[in-house]
Amino acid sequence: MMTQKKAKFPHDLLDPTQATGLILGGMGGPDTTASVEPFLRNLFNDPAVLPLPGMLARLVGHFIVSLRVNQVRRRYASLGFGGGSPQTDWTRRQCILLEGLLNKLGFACYAAPAMRYWHPFPSQTVELLRQRGARQFLVVPAYPQYSAATSGTTLTAICQAVRAADRQAAIYCVEDWHLLPGYLAALSRQVVPVLYRWIQENTPPQSCALLPVAHSLPERFIRQGDPYLDQTQATVDALRAGLAVQLANHEDWWDSLPGGGSPLLAFQSKVGPVRWLGPDSVQEVHRLAAAGCRKLLVLPISFTCEHIETLHELDVELADVARTAGIEDFVRTSALNLDEDWLASLSEHITAAAFALRPYSLQPARREASHA
């Protein structure tokens, strides 16, 4: 079996006295109804997403887009953002805050988003940052866990755009941040109040569940060496360890909670007939409901901001599945969005790594319980 080689990204140490362009890279999303189809075509034309021989890839990609485009348009239209996605706007706002945080840390930094499949494309972002004065680049994926189909293809496209503009520019790529303390803290901060509410309502733990949900990936990626599944499981394990500390006064309840003492993890957003990572989120909700779950807390762990896969796939589709299956209390935690602790933690991590100013250790966050 062919082994999928992880791309080698540049890790040039950056000069703290030089102006730095920080690029937060994502897959992007359509900004209007008219851009849904070209966005999908760009997505399925990427060999990292659809790894088939050239002509076959184009035919299969065209077929998938033609099959899905009208349904996807309706979903985007239902979000209330003019027929497009809020993802790029959220990422741009994250960049504004990151730029301010890095400037406070003493770095001359200009930050902007770059999207893989729709505007602003990497070449546009690199040109913008060069016009603002950037002479070196710090590239950060908008995905905590690394996969060749998300972070890999995005980082590659951004690095190629930088090299095309200036072959001598230093580039430091952050490949993943799945154990970033501020990220884990942002996740647990939303979980703890819900769990304590259930405890205070004297709800039996067997009728509740904590379900982390991650974006799925074709199983072949994992068989070929992609680290996504291992990193996703590491995030869940670190999160559960931190929550166990915060719920130490209710250890028996926590240990009996599905997703507490017994780990849960489900996957969403699979496309096409190939085998994807499971269990599927819909199947897992049905299983939990059949086992007596009546209160369900869904925790998306793959997304830094709200977009179609949280606002529609979870809030509409999965919530409807849960209600139909008999779940009475369905709670979905929000994406990271503009969480200040997460952004502060990310800014400290990326500058420590890129400028090598001090040692930095990624350890799971530990917070004391603040609830009775």
pLDDT digits (tens, 9 = 90+) for 322-347: 999 999 999 999 999 999 999 999 99
Mean pLDDT of 362-369: 37
- The Cα–Cα gap between 27 and 45 comes to 13
- Specify if 269 maps to a domain: yes
Query: Which residue is listed with tokens 């001598």?
Result: 168
**Exposure string (b/e) for 224-261, b if CB count within 10 Å is 16 or more?**
eebbbbebbbbbbebbbebbeebbeebeebbeebbbbe
Mean pLDDT of 287-294: 98
Q: What is the pLDDT of residue 13?
A: 96
361: confidence class by pLDDT, cuts 50, 70, 90: very low
Q: Is the pTM of this model over 0.95?
A: no
**CATH code where residue 238 lies:** 3.40.50.1400
List of residues 6+ apart from 357 with CB closer than 8 A = 16, 351
- Specify if 11 maps to a domain: no
- The Cα–Cα gap between 266 and 280 comes to 6
> Are 138 and 259 within one domain?
no
> Are 185 and 174 within one domain?
no
pLDDT 10s digits, 121-173: 999 999 999 999 999 999 999 999 999 999 999 999 999 999 999 999 999 99
> Are 34 and 122 within one domain?
yes
> Are 226 and 97 within one domain?
no
Contacts of the segment 260-265: beta carbons below 8 A, 24+ positions apart = 260/205, 260/210, 263/236, 263/237, 264/209, 264/210, 264/211, 264/212, 265/211, 265/212, 265/213, 265/214, 265/232, 265/233, 265/236
286: confidence class by pLDDT, cuts 50, 70, 90: very high
- Specify if 2 maps to a domain: no
> Are 288 and 140 within one domain?
no
> Are 193 and 87 within one domain?
no
> Are 240 and 275 within one domain?
yes
> Are 32 and 151 within one domain?
yes
- Specify if 68 maps to a domain: yes
- Specify if 372 maps to a domain: no
For residue 358, is pLDDT > 80?
no
Q: Structurally, how many domains does the chain consist of? A: 2
> Are 345 and 253 within one domain?
no
Query: Which residue is listed with tokens 């791309």?
Result: 7
Name the burial class of residue 80, with classes exposed (0-12), middle (13-18) and buried (19+) by CB atoms within 10 angstroms of its CB. exposed
pLDDT 10s digits, 82-109: 999 999 999 999 999 999 999 999 999 9
> Are 236 and 166 within one domain?
no
> Are 208 and 344 within one domain?
no
Per DSSP, what are the bridge partners of residue 211?
Answer: 298
- Specify if 320 maps to a domain: yes
Domain hosting residue 266, numbered range: 181-332
- Specify if 89 maps to a domain: yes
117: confidence class by pLDDT, cuts 50, 70, 90: very high
pLDDT 10s digits, 165-213: 999 999 999 999 999 999 999 999 999 999 999 999 999 999 999 999 9
- Specify if 119 maps to a domain: yes
> Are 295 and 204 within one domain?
yes
The radius of gyration of the chain's CA atoms, rounded to the nearest angstrom, is 21
